Amino acid sequence: MNLRCVSAVALACLVAIGCGSEDAGAGGGGFGSANEASTTGSSGAANAAKGSHGVTQAGAQDFGAFRKIIEQGKTPAPGVLDDLGFFAEHKLDYPKATCGGDLCMHGLVGTMNNMINGANCTLVQIGLNTPLDPDTLPRPPLDLVLVIDISGSMQGEPMTYVKEGLKRMLDSLEPTDKVSLVTFSSSAKVVVSGAPATEKMLLAQAFANLQADAQTNLYDGLFTGFQVAAKHQQPGRSARIVYLSDGVATAGMQQPGKLAALARAWAKKGIGITTIGLGTEFDMAAMRDVAEAGGGNFYFIDQPKGAGEVFQEEVKTAFLPLALDVKLTFAPGAGYVVRAVYGTHGWQGGPNGGIIEIPALYLAKRTDSKAPITAGRRGGGGAIILELVPLKGISETGVGKLGLAYVAPKSGSTKSADAKLDTPHKPGQVPAEGFFSAPTVEKGFVMLNLFAAFEMATQFAWDADPGAALGVLEAIEKPAAAWAAKNKDPDIEDDLKYVKLYAGILKNLQAQSTVKTPVVLPPDPWPYGD
């Protein structure tokens, strides 16, 4: 399983900034080289952008709910921040996709000091991209079933968001597409069944007539949506449910696990699902789990513009899986063990390696990591990062071995690739400037440090220790800001905005509390091999 900070004891969060070593040197920005599974030539951002497109996993596509809670001046609960969703909002420029297939894997390495307490850290960053252009790929005709929560909590602004998003979505549909609309409150109702996308007046009127009332029967809405999708499912067409809610189940079957089980069963029959949460009161774990079980995406939206973007993105890219039944394997070299894996929920393994299983991969939207963020950060693609701990007394420089296997959706054939990862240094040896096999690893390193800081601060704050939480955020802010100033990266700059907002909230908590917890840094995590 993914070793994330879920313990009620805040010190358990030290694992998130691990890779402790007595041989830590100064972090920095030096670059070297490493083998890549795509067997492309030179690495680096200069070769990455043109002719290649990012790839994203099914599951959370943003960490908007976490940001929204901070914007409201509140402290998020543990579990709100999701590493997959956080990473998905970061665009990483991988080497050009010249592996000869539709999916290219890049295994990259970085060794440096973490930004929170300076302990030595070795990372393996797995990047995936494709030479395919989403704008030129024909997608199959779509049978889209919209399952919309119209319970009482949707009154007002939430319903406005949904209506605006649905209206904008109509312009992204193809004439061969068909649309169904299922609404649910205390029970579910089929409003439109299999209407051609050309019937825009009919669909627009159905959207405009949505009215909020009564309780929330999540299961009945989802079950009815799958029944409608099955009714219209045909060979050669893509069947998909978009399931939207702003609350938790208050009527009908109220076990969240039943929703994921339902999605998993229908995914095996070829009907996928995307889930969308509104506001900050919806059942985030349930909606996220349903999307992952169904091989689809999970989004958070908090404004009309965001709703339109999500619906349009789903129609354009999410119904075109690039790879199915993806399996990534990793075995560390003799001088390392795996401490934790981030950016995926599919990890199964331990210190000596393991496997990552991903139901589906899709094309990511964003193409340029340096472009200003004007329409939201979703669609970056993210990365999978393995955090390694060096063992003492090992001279072998091999970092590990990567393997990739996946099923090509069109042919049904299995494709594979593998790579050996290496550095010029022995385990635990770090040059003063650090070592990065490609520039994008350095961004991945900063990204992981920011995620760890957010997660640790959240756990400390939840355990009534705002001083320790503030200490973590203050520790990360200065080095991350220095990196962002040097590299002009919009993603990291936006992350830092929330570091400052969060720190402000914690300072207010300190000021209001009769017991002042000291602002301190966490101690070094314990390394393997002592």
pLDDT, tens only, 132-144: 887 777 788 999 9
Q: What is the pLDDT of residue 450?
A: 95
Residue-wise pLDDT for 324-383, tens only, equals 899 999 999 999 999 999 999 999 999 999 999 998 888 887 877 887 776 668 788 889
pLDDT value at position 177?
Answer: 94
CA dist 248 → 277, 282, 291, 397 (Å): 10, 5, 16, 51
Q: Nearest to residue 393, comparing CAs of 121, 43, 21?
A: 21
Per-residue pLDDT, 516? 66
Amino acid at 185: S
User: What residues have CB less than 8 Å from 157, skipping those under 6 apart?
Assistant: none
* CA neighbor of 251 nearest in space, from 285, 209, 220, 291: 220
Can you name the residues that pair with 56 across neighbouring β-strands? Answer: 362
DSSP assignment of 78-94, as one string? TTSS-HHHHHHT-B--P
**The predicted structure's pLDDT at residue 371:** 78
Per-residue pLDDT tens for 478-489?
999 999 999 999
Sign of CA dihedral 4, 10, 11, 14: positive
Rounded Cα distance, 386 and 3, in Å: 11
123: Cα separation from own chain's centroid: 18
pLDDT at 521: 62
The correct CATH number of 142-318 out of 3.40.50.920, 3.40.50.1970, 3.40.50.410, 3.90.1150.10 is 3.40.50.410
pLDDT at 10: 32
Across the chain, what does the average pLDDT equal?
A: 83
Q: Look at phi and psi of residue 222 and say left if phi exceeds 0, alpha if psi is from -120 to 50, else beta.
A: alpha
Q: CA-CA distance, 511 to 494, in Å (whole number)?
A: 26
Please report, for the chain, the start and end positions of each structural domain, with discontinuous segments joined by +.
10-134+323-512, 142-318
pLDDT tens for 44-70 read 343 344 668 889 888 888 998 999 999
Mind spelling out the 3-state secondary structure of 99-153?
CCCCCEEEEEEEEEECCCCCCEEEEEEEEEEECCCCCCCCCCCEEEEEEEECCHH
In the chain, what is the straight-line distance between the N-terminal and C-terminal CA atoms, in Å? 24
pLDDT at 18: 46
pLDDT of residue 49: 47
Query: What pTM was computed for the model?
Result: 0.85
Q: Give the separation between CA 284 and CA 65, rounded to whole angstroms.
A: 9
pLDDT of residue 374: 66
Report the distance separating Cα 52 and Cα 131, nearest Å: 5
Task: Give me the tens of pLDDT residue by residue for the chain, a chain 530 residues long.
Answer: 333 322 222 333 333 344 443 333 333 332 222 333 333 333 334 334 466 888 988 888 899 899 999 999 999 999 899 999 999 999 999 999 999 889 999 999 999 888 887 777 899 999 999 998 877 777 889 999 999 999 998 888 888 888 888 988 888 899 999 999 999 999 999 999 999 999 999 999 999 999 998 888 999 999 999 999 999 999 889 899 999 998 788 887 788 788 999 999 998 888 989 999 887 788 888 898 999 888 888 998 876 567 777 877 777 665 678 898 999 999 999 999 999 999 999 999 999 999 999 988 888 878 778 877 766 687 888 899 999 999 988 888 899 999 999 999 888 899 999 999 999 988 988 887 889 999 999 999 999 999 999 999 999 999 988 988 999 999 999 999 999 999 999 999 999 999 999 999 999 988 887 666 666 665 554 344 44
Q: Hey, what long-range contacts does 199-206 have (CB within 8 A, 24 or more apart)?
A: 200/170, 203/170, 203/179, 204/167, 204/170, 206/181
Tell me which residue of 223, 237, 307 sits closest to 273, measured CA to CA: 223
DSSP secondary structure letters along 40-61:
-SS-SGGGTSTT-EEEEESEE-
Token pair belonging to 451:
């995620």
40: which residues sit within 8 A by CB, 6+ positions away? Answer: 47, 95, 96, 97, 98, 99, 104, 106
